Amino acid sequence: MRRYTDIMARVAGISLLLWLLLSGAARAQFVVDHVDARKVDDSIRVKVDLDLSLTDAADQALSHGVPLIVVNEIELLRNGWLWDHVEQRVSQRHRLRYYALSGQYVLDSDEASLDAFRTVSDALKTISSTTARFQIPAHSDGYTVAVRSRIDINALPAPLRPTALFSPQWQLSSDWTQWPIDGSSTN
């Protein structure tokens, strides 16, 4: 009888662990919603709309004082015969922190000064709309734009990194998506 209860306890524990891993990974994600890339004179202007939401693990770490770095990456690709070549790259880093004393989420980035928000969703909305500008030569046919957003796991505190590398709760990254320059979507 004791052997049966040990087996059932293990099965219940494994089931709970799998449920926790799968439910957290399915609930939150980073998605590139829309990209508008247009030629303006001798440059390409890019406006990106993202859908960002945190998993329970990332939200809990943030609420316990761990800053999260969200990186939005935009690349200008020249279409090649076998593969695309990255002509230019823009990387925008946003640091999101929670201050328990004031109850506010503070966001700072390379381009902007400090902003304070009451909720994490308000701060993520600010990060989710981004722009970039690329200078291009006069001959500008055959270009596309690739976009991705992700949490920088390497910027987390060292004790948290091993867990973040292997846990689905921390796999917050959109796939690279490509969009044509004329502004209509292909993905």
**Does the pLDDT of residue 132 top 90, yes or no?**
no
What's the rounded Cα separation, in Å, for the pair 123 and 105?
7
Q: What is the CATH number of domain 28-180?
A: 2.60.40
- Which run of H or of E encompasses 105? strand 104-109
pLDDT at 143: 85
Phi, psi values for residue 67, rounded to 5°: -70, 145
- The confidence band for 91, taking pLDDT boundaries of 50, 70 and 90, is very high
Residue partners of 19: CB distance under 8 A and separation at least 6: none
**Does the pLDDT of residue 175 top 60, yes or no?**
yes
Q: Enumerate the domain spans of the chain.
A: 28-180
> pLDDT of 48-87, one tens digit each?
999 999 999 999 999 999 999 999 999 998 887 788 888 8
> pLDDT of 35-44, one tens digit each?
999 888 778 8
Q: Which range, of 3-17, 96-110, 141-155, averages the lowest pLDDT?
A: 3-17
- The confidence band for 104, taking pLDDT boundaries of 50, 70 and 90, is very high
Burial class of residue 170 (count of CB atoms within 10 Å of its CB; 0-12, 13-18, 19+): buried
Phi, psi values for residue 118, rounded to 5°: -80, -30
**Does the pLDDT of residue 185 top 60, yes or no?**
no
- The confidence band for 1, taking pLDDT boundaries of 50, 70 and 90, is low
Do 153 and 173 touch, CB atoms closer than 8 A?
no
**Does the pLDDT of residue 163 top 70, yes or no?**
yes
